[in-house]
């Protein structure tokens, strides 16, 4: 382990977070609120960041395990410091609650311990949603975009942070890839803000909801979420952009360079569109008796399917009151998630497609043992290593999920609340069902349960392994160079 380089990179990340706190500080000043809750943590971050990164180490090499450690530690650190403004402002007085809310923000989960959000300060509301926007594409991707690192270790950081089965460069330099990703991300966010303003949404509200949509996070500045506006235009705009941010961002780059054939040939994109269309149709038909007209049912089904499959978590209605069939579909979509390389969470559509193809291939081999069968994805044959990595992810995912459910069951909540609380946090959804439904929250859980669910949120956002490997003693062993004889 190159501990000095790890500390150096985390120091730069802390300095970046200090700069990010200037945005909610400015919002607080504009609304006549105290700037101290943001200024004090920013100064503390600067001191810690400079202490860790004032001198660049001689050895700047970062290998795979170093990249995993950096990503996990960076997300924990930004969450620990990011919780301070909520405590200092009095918006969330208890630190564990503030930490849970901050982790939920950066991991773009959207789960909340707040019973009401409208009483919060404007600066606090802005920071709460701004963490979605920063965490959506990735904290380290953001840092690489504005403070480029050498490509030699940038790739390890990107692979450890960006969700999905595989990550590759869009262009030759890793820093340029980060800039392209955030450039596309920024433009799409601005377009959504403009469209919401055109519909009559106030600027502050438009920015908050655009941040939540872009990061597929779901924090709102209204207690009733998007349902507070009761405007079909907002439902359509936000629902559409949730789906767009759930698509692999590599495909947007292909559109920019006019590689249209690569976009339309994407198996994952086709599967994603098919799942959304089937789920919307099934739910709309199932809830049609609850609303006046099929068009209204279709709109609500479209919005909630878009919100759940992209793991955003916004709500226009209380889907906890929908029929069991519709709620079951939404729970299934929680696990499916969005596309690899998007800002969404979940297992990812790419893994679902690969697992389905692998299962069918194995069943064919049972019928025809001597047949030679190859699993292909996106037009390319998948090697045994790729297939093993998908199976490994699913196995560890299920082990962590089961363990979390067992531990959370000690709270003596009902089964649906316990199961969907873990599912919503680990898949970075936000709301679950029953007590943690769209009209509920996580305030009833004890402090240790909130820390457990915070762990689940971080594990889900970072694809499990970076967080789990922090507990492996071997990752911290520093190998000394062999002595010359």
Residue whose entry in the numeric block shows the structure tokens 């004890």: 446
CA distance 162 to 342: 8
Note the pLDDT of residue 172. Answer: 46
Q: With contact defined as beta carbons under 8 Å apart, do 282 and 217 qualify?
A: no
CA–CA distances in Å: residue 197 to residues 237, 300, 329: 11, 22, 33
Residue 260 in tokens: 């249209």
Note the pLDDT of residue 485. Answer: 34
pTM score of the predicted model: 0.89
pLDDT in tens, 352-390: 998 898 888 888 888 887 777 778 887 788 788 888 888
Q: Which residues contact 413 (CB under 8 A, 6 or more apart)?
A: 421, 435, 444, 445
Note the pLDDT of residue 146. Answer: 52
Kindly report the number of other CB atoms within 10 A of residue 479's CB atom: 6
Residue 437 in tokens: 């439904």
Low-confidence ranges of the chain (pLDDT < 50): 150-152, 154-156, 160-161, 164, 166-169, 171-172, 480-485
Note the pLDDT of residue 482. Answer: 41
pLDDT in tens, 182-219: 888 999 999 999 999 999 999 999 999 999 999 898 89
């Amino acid at each position: 382990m190159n501990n000095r380089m790890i500390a150096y990179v985390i120091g730069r990340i802390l300095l970046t977070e200090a700069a990010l706190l200037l945005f909610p500080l400015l919002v607080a000043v504009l609304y006549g609120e105290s700037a101290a809750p943001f200024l004090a943590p920013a100064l503390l971050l600067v001191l810690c960041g400079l202490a860790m990164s004032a001198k660049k180490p001689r050895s700047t090499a970062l290998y795979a395990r170093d990249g995993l450690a950096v990503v996990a530690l960076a997300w924990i650190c930004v969450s620990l410091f990011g919780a301070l403004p909520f405590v200092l402002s009095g918006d969330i007085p208890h630190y564990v609650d503030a930490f849970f809310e901050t982790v939920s923000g950066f991991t773009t989960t959207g789960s909340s311990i707040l019973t009401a959000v409208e009483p919060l300060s404007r600066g606090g509301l802005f920071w709460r949603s701004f963490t979605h926007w920063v965490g959506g594409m990735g904290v380290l991707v953001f840092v690489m975009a504005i403070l480029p690192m050498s490509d030699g270790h940038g790739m390890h950081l990107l692979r450890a942070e960006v969700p999905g089965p595989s990550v590759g460069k869009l262009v030759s330099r890793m820093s340029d890839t980060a800039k392209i990703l955030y450039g596309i991300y920024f433009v799409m966010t601005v377009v959504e803000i403009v469209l919401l303003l055109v519909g009559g949404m106030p600027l502050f509200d438009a920015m908050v909801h655009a941040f939540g949509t872009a990061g597929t996070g779901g924090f709102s500045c209204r207690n009733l979420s998007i349902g507070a506006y009761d405007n079909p235009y907002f439902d359509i705009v936000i629902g559409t952009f949730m789906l767009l941010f759930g698509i692999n961002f590599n495909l947007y780059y292909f559109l920019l360079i006019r590689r249209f054939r690569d976009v339309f040939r994407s198996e994952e994109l086709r599967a994603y569109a098919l799942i959304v269309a089937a789920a919307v149709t099934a739910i709309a038909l199932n809830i049609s008796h609850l609303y006046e007209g099929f068009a209204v049912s279709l709109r609500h089904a479209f919005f909630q399917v878009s919100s759940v499959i992209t793991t955003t978590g916004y709500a226009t209605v209380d889907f906890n009151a929908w029929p069991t069939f519709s709620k079951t579909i939404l729970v299934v979509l929680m696990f499916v998630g969005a596309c690899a390389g998007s800002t969404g969470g979940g297992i990812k559509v790419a893994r679902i497609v690969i697992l389905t193809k692998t299962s069918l291939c194995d069943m064919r081999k049972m019928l025809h043992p001597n047949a030679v069968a190859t699993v292909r994805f996106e037009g390319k044959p998948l090697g045994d290593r790729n297939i093993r990595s998908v199976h490994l992810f699913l196995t560890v995912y299920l082990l962590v999920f089961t363990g979390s459910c067992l531990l959370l069951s000690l709270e003596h909540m009902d089964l649906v609340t316990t199961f969907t609380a873990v599912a919503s946090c680990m898949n970075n959804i936000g709301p679950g069902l029953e007590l943690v439904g769209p009209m509920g929250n996580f305030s009833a859980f004890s402090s240790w349960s909130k820390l457990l669910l915070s762990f689940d949120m971080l594990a889900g956002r970072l694809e499990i392994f970076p967080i789990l490997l922090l507990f492996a003693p071997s990752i911290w062993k520093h190998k000394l160079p062999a002595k010359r004889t």
